[in-house]
Structure 1
Amino acid sequence: MKKRLNYYWRLFATGLSFSVFGIGGFLLWIVAFPVLNVIPESPPKKRQRAQKCVHYSFYVFIGLMHRIGIMTYEINGLEKLNRPGQLILANHPTLIDIVFLLSRIPTASCIVKKKLWHNPCMKGPIINAGYISNEDPEQMINSCADYLKSGGILVIFPESTRTVPNAKYKFQRGAATIALQADTVVTPVTLHCVPSTLTKVEKWYQIPERRFHLSMTVGDDIALDEFQAIAPRSIAVRRFNSYLQDYFSQQRNHHE
C-alpha cells in the first residue's frame, strides 16, 4: 500500500511540476521580462540578464522536483563548465535535459525548435534570452558560430531530439559543423537517467515505479586540431560527427 501511495503521489507531483513550469514560463513573459527590460542596458547585457533569470527559474524548478520526491540527481565535473565561448555538447535522454543543464549554467543559449516560439509558456524566455531558432539550418549554424566567437556559452544536443530508448545514436551534423566553424572550446556532457522516463516514446504521466535519478558527467574538452586539419570541411565535419557518436555511445555503454 505504501508503495502504491508513493506512486500516486509522484504521478500527482509530476503533473503539478509541469503545471508550475508552464505557469512560471508564462509569468516570466508577461511580468518578469517587461520589468527587467525597463532597465537601460545594451542588447547583449539584456540577453545575459534574461538568461540568468531563466537559469534561476530552472534551478528552483529542479529543486522543486527533487524536494517533492520525483527525482534525485548528481553532478560530476561542474567546474569544467561556464567558460566564455564554450560549446557544450550533450546527449538527450529525457524531456528535462535542457532545463537541468541551464539550471547549472547562469548564462547560456541553446537551439530551440521553431514551434516553441509560438508556445505562450516558452515564448518569453526564448525571445528575451536570445535562444537560436532551428527554422533556417544555414542561418542557425552561422548564428551559433557567431555567438560562440563573441564569447557566449552554447548548449547543443547533436541528436537534435530526444534519444529513442535502446536505439543507436544518430547525430545530425549541425553540432559538428558549428564546432569546427567556431573553432572554440568543445566540452561533452553525458546525461544518464535511471529508470528511464520522459523519453521520446513516453507521455509525461507514464512515470516509473520509483523516482528517477539523473546523473550529469562533464567530460574533458575535445581537441579540434586533428579535425581542423582535414580538408575539405565536409569530410572534417563527417569525421568529427562520427567521433562524437562513438564518444557518447561509449559513455552510455559505461553506464549500462
Structure 2
Amino acid sequence: MTFWKRSLAVNLRIMDFEPVAAQNKNWFKSAFQTAAFFGGYFIFAALGSVVSVACVLPALLFCGVRPQIFGQKLIHRLFVFFVGYLRAFGLVELDAKELSRLREMGGLVIVANHPCLLDAVLVVSRLPRVVCLMKGSLSRNIVLSGTSRLAGYVHNESGLGLVKTCGERLKEGANLLIFPEGTRTAGKKLHPFKMGFALVSVLTQSPVQTVIITAESNYLGKGWPFFKRPSFPLCYSLRIGKRFEPTPETNVKDFGKMVENYFLKTLSGMDLQTSSPTKKL
C-alpha cells in the first residue's frame, strides 16, 4: 500500500507541474513574439532608411530603365528579407505560391483589394519587377523616398502626367501595382473603385490582372493602432484572379466597373479580413 501511495503522490505532483510548465512555455513564446514584433518595426524602419538614403544620389544622377530595374529588384529583395523575418519568428503565415506564375511576366496592371498596410510588401516580395502607384506622402517618407524614386515608382500627385508615366513603366516591362480603392478596406465593404487603373489599361492596351488578398486579422487595417500587438501568427492569402484584356474599342468606365463587379462578386462570400467564407444565416 505504501508503494501505491507514493506512486500516486508522485503522479499528482507531475500533474500539478504540467499546467505550470505549459503556462511558462506560453508566456515565453508570447514574450519572444512580442520582442520579434517590435523588432520588425525597427528593422523595417532602420534598414529601409539606410538603403533609401543611399539611393537618393543614384536616383538623381542616373535615369533610364536599367537603374529602375535595379531599384525594383532592390525593393523586392528588401521585402523578401522582411517577410522572411516575419515568417522565421512565427509572426506571419503566407500563402502566395500562385503569384509565382507572374514572376516572368511584364506589362500587367495588377489590381488588388487592400485589407491592410502589408499588402504591397507581400505582393512585391513575390514579384521582382513591380512599380507601385503610391500616395504622394509616402514618396516623401525617409524609409521609402530614395528607393521608390530609384525604382521609378509613380505617386498619385503626378496629375496629368500620371497616365503617361504609368504607360512608360508598363512599356519598359514592369508590372504596375494599383489598389483602386485608394485606401484600406474598412470592414467588410469595398470602397468604390477609382477608375484610373482602367484608363491606364485601356490607353496602353495592358491587361488587368486581379489579385485577391485575404487576411485572418485586422492588423494594420483601417483604424488599427499602428503599434498595437495582434495575435500570432498573422495569416495572409494572395490568389491570382481573373485577367481582363481591353481592346481599342473598350469603354473605360464600363471596363473599370466590370473589374469592380468581379471583386464584389468574388469577395461577397467571405469577410475581407478573413480567408474563411462567412456564414450565411
User: Partner residue of 1:138?
Assistant: 160
Secondary structure class of the residue paired with 1:214: strand
Q: Once the 2 structures are TM-superposed, how far is the Cα of residue 254 of structure 1 from its aligned partner?
A: 4.0
User: Partner residue of 2:39?
Assistant: 16
Query: In 1, are the aligned partners of 2:56 and 2:150 still within 8 Å (CA)?
Result: no
Higher relative contact order (CA 8 A, sep 6+): 1
Which AA in structure 1 matches 2:80?
A: Y
**CA deviation profile, 1:72-129 (whole Å, cap 9, x unmatched):** 0102422431312111111111111111111111121111211122211111111111
Residue 123 (structure 2) pairs with residue 101 (structure 1):
yes
User: Partner residue of 2:51?
Assistant: 28
Gaps of 5+ in 1: 231-235
What's the Cα RMSD here?
Answer: 2.3
Q: Once the 2 structures are TM-superposed, how far is the Cα of residue 180 of structure 1 from its aligned partner?
A: 1.1
- Structure 1 residue corresponding to 2:142, chosen from 112, 120, 125: 120
Which AA in structure 2 matches 1:196?
A: N
User: Partner residue of 1:253?
Assistant: 268
Which AA in structure 2 matches 1:67?
A: A
User: Partner residue of 1:174?
Assistant: 196
Residue 71 (structure 2) pairs with residue 50 (structure 1):
yes
88-97 vs 113-122, which moves further? 113-122
What percentage of residue pairs aligned between the two structures are identical? Answer: 25
User: Partner residue of 1:233?
Assistant: none
Question: Alpha carbons of 1:181 and 1:24: their partners in 2 closer, same or farther (altered >3 Å)?
Answer: same
CA distance in 2, matches of 1:168, 1:111: 19
CA distance in 2, matches of 1:161, 1:142: 23
Residue 220 (structure 2) pairs with residue 198 (structure 1):
yes
CA distance in 1, matches of 2:139, 2:68: 16
100-109 vs 150-159, which moves further? 150-159
**CA deviation profile, 1:161-181 (whole Å, cap 9, x unmatched):** 211122233111111111111
Aligned residues: 246
Which AA in structure 1 matches 2:249?
A: A
TM-score (structure 1 length as normaliser): 0.86
TM-score (structure 2 length as normaliser): 0.79
